[in-house]
Structure formats: structure tokens, C-alpha cells
Amino acid sequence: MVAQSPDRDGSALLVVDVQPDFLPGGRLAVPGGNQILDGVRHLMLSDAFQVVVATQDWHPPGHASFASSHPGKEPFDTIPLHGHEQVLWPEHCIQGTPGALLAPELPWDRAHLILRKGMDPRVDSYSGFRNNWGPDGTRPDTGLAGYLEGRGIRRVTICGLARDVCVRWTAEDAVDAGFDTTLVWDLSRSVDPSADDDLRSALSHHGVHLVPLDELED
């Protein structure tokens, strides 16, 4: 069982953006997002991980990624932003609003670190490790890799929302930062589930291990 894992030392659980705005009824609800809550809670309460980290989308009003910040644009339109394609989202996870809080169903007292992202009004931030591209053409570090390395973490296990956006970027950046990276596939959900087969292939090609929860427990 997960709770008896012999590999606890050197392992971290990353819980990505499990917030009301991404759950049913939220401003940017991910289909089936609530279905991951029991499994995520199970992992957070287990003794399988040396470190538990949560990321939290935390946007200021008028953020550049919001369709409402671009006259004539609609949610899910795309625009060029700082030299790269930017999806325009419905307003979501606005600082201090109920939808931006961490989902109350989960035991956040188990988290060693809560990392807020997307706070720069000019720049989106999908990944827990690096912001999206900014005006200078770079993707600045969030400091998460250094935090984990400083605690001797070599392996990260990722779950959360949304599988095809913030979870994907976090997982790929974790690999790029040198971590042995596992995504618990059934403890994530996609904004666009129809593209999950292509996403699975892309993540595997990038070096992310994709496992179901029951395999993680073996």
C-alpha cells in the first residue's frame, strides 16, 4: 500500500491547482474534476511522501490570460502573447475570491509548501516550476525545483487539475529539472478529454511515467 512505501525519503507529492474554480460549478470547471478528490486525499494522508507541495492559481483581476482583458475576444480564443500562443480563459482563480481557495475537501494541513502562481498580471503560469514566457522571452523559475532539491527530493508524483494544461506543464518541467516524474493518470482530468490519447503519448515521449492509482499502490 502507498502508506507503507519504502521509497518515502526522496519523494514528493505535487498536488496541482485543486481549487473550486476548476471543480464542477466553478468558473473554469474541468469535466469530472471532483472525481479525483477521494484519491488525492488518500495520497495526501498517506505516509508515502517526504514532502507534499500544493500549487494554487492566484490571478490578479484583469490578468492577461483572461478573455475579458482583450476586447472582442471570447474564452478559448488564442492570441500571440510575448511571442507565443496564449489561450484566453474565462476569469478564474482571482485573488481572494472563493473560487481561488484550495478545495476544502482536501487536508491542506499536510502540505509543506503552498506555491501560488499566475500572480504577474502580464504572464500566465501553468507550471509549478516555471512561469510561461514573459516580455523578455524567458520562463522564470518559481523556485520549486530548488526547494525540492534542497530537501533531497529525487522523485515527484503529480496529481491535480487540469491534466492537459497545468498538470502537463508541471510534469514536463519536472522531467526537464531532472526529477524522476510520475503522473497518477486517474487522479487528473482534462479540459479537453477528447485529446487525452495524444496527451498520453506526448507525456510518455517526454519521459513522464503514467500510472493509475492502484499501480502506484502495488
Residues annotated as catalytic (active site), given as ranges: 17, 117, 166
The single-letter DSSP state of residue 141 is: B
CA 3 to chain centre: 23
Contact 125, 64 (CB under 8 A): no
Name the DSSP letter for residue 103.
P
What radius of gyration, in Å, describes the C-alpha atoms of the chain?
16
Q: At CA 104, angle to CA 111 and CA 40, rounded to 5? A: 55
Instruction: State the residue for C-alpha cell 496541482.
Output: 16
Q: Report residue 109 as a C-alpha cell.
A: 494541513
Helix (H) or strand (E) holding 189: strand 180-189
| Torsion-angle region of 22 (φ positive above 0: left; ψ -120 to 50: alpha; else: beta) | alpha
